[in-house]
Every structure is written in C-alpha cells, then in structure tokens.
Structure 1
C-alpha cells in the first residue's frame, strides 16, 4: 500500500472525528442554552403569577388600619418572596432589580387598600397604576432577557 493512501485515510479519519466532536459541542451548547432559557422563562412566569395573585387578593381585602405596613407577611403567603428569590438566582441584575420594585409597588398597594381607600380614590388609583406600570416594565425587561439568552 502506498504511503499517500495511508496518510489520506488517516487525515480523513481525523477530520471526521474532529467534525463530529465540533458538531456535538455545538449541539450541546444549543441544548444547554435552550434549557437555561426555559428555566428562566419558568422562573419569570412563576414570579409574575405569584405577584398577580397577591395583588388580586389585596384588591379584595377589607380595610384594616392595624395591618398597614405588614404586607410583607401577606405577600409571603402568596409565594412572591420565594419566586422572587428564585428569579434573583437565575436572572441578570436589571430583571432582579425591577422585580424588587414590582414587589414593593404591590406592597404599597396593599397598604393603600388596608388603609381604607376606596377603588375610586386618588391614592388607590395611583397605587394600582404604579403596580401595573412596574409589572409592565418588568415584563419588557424579562422579554429582553429571554431574547438575549
């Protein structure tokens, strides 16, 4: 057998192995990215659902001035803090910061409702809008994060 045939066979084999390894590495990276994106999407959805559940529950709460300022207990009962902590572990800083602001705005809404402000009062409307605007800004940042990942 000629040396050129053996060299060509060896080079072809090496190139085949290398191309297979490169293709497997690219596929692994793509799969990992997709899993990470899905985990992030799940964390985002869980946080938003918990926050919405708390906000909706607070809107139906009867006034109770002695409970004003104790929204952290009520919001914890709706799983917001747990979802927020998971989000903080997974998401980048801008999303985590905006989630914190969204949580605080729902806490402010809680206090307005418990203070006895009616749904047509300026305080109630302002707190409701702030919660909605913070949530919307958070959702936009979440969408950007999902596009980047």
Structure 2
C-alpha cells in the first residue's frame, strides 16, 4: 500500500475528528447561551411581575400616615426583594442598578399614596411617572441584555 494513501486516510480522519469537535463546541456554546438567556428572561419576568403587583397594590392603598416610610415592608411581602436578589445573581451590574432605582421609585410612590396625596395631586403624579419611567428604563436595559445574551 502506498504511503500517500495512508497519509491521506490519516489526514482525512484527523480532519473529520476536528470538524466534529468544532461542531460540538459550537453547539455547546449555543445551548449554553440559550440556557443563560432563559435564566435571565425568567428572572426579569419575575422581578417585573412582582414590582408591578406591588405598585398596583400601592395605588389602591388607603392613606395611613404611620405607614409612610414603611413601603419596604410591603415590597418584601410582595416578593420584590427576593426577585431583586435573584437579579443580582444573574444580571449585569447596570441592570441591577436600574432595578434598584425602579424599586426605590415604587417605594416613593407608596409613600405618596399612604401620605394621603390624591391621584390628581402633583406629588402622586410625579411619583407615578417616576415609577413608570424607571420601569421603562429597566425594560429597555433588559431587552438589550436579552438581545446579546
């Protein structure tokens, strides 16, 4: 048997093994990226859901001057802090910072409502708009992260 046949067979075998390894690596990276995106999406969805539920509950709260400054307790009861901690484990620092600002805006909204500000008052409207604006900024950041994850 000529050497050229043996060399060609060996080279073909090596190239076939290398091609398989490269294809497996590409598939592994793609699967890992999809799992990471799914994890992020689940954490993002959970956080937005509980934050919105808390904000909506706060909008129906009765005035209670003694509750001003105690919105953090209500946020905890709605699971906002647990969802925020989950975000801290899986998301980038910029996104976690925006989530923190959204949480603080909802706390400010809580304080405006329980302080007795009516829904048309400048304090209520300002707090509501700030909560919506920070949530919108957070969603924009979440979409950006999901696009590149």
- TM-score tier, shorter chain, comes to over 0.9
**Secondary structure of 1:124's aligned partner:** helix
Deviation at 1:38, TM superposition (A): 1.0
Moved over 3 A (4+): none
- Matched residues, number: 149
Q: CA RMSD in A?
A: 0.6
Residue ranges of structure 2 left out of the alignment (5+ in a row): none
Residues 40-97 of structure 1, C-alpha deviation per residue, up to 9 Å, x if partnerless?
0111111000100000000011111011101101000001001011111111111000
**What residue number does 2:9 align with?**
9
Residue ranges of structure 1 left out of the alignment (5+ in a row): none
**What residue number does 1:45 align with?**
45
**Secondary structure of 1:10's aligned partner:** helix
**What TM-score do the two structures reach when normalised by structure 2?**
0.98
1:96 equivalent in alignment to 2:92 = no
CA distance in 2, matches of 1:131, 1:17: 56
**What TM-score do the two structures reach when normalised by structure 1?**
0.98
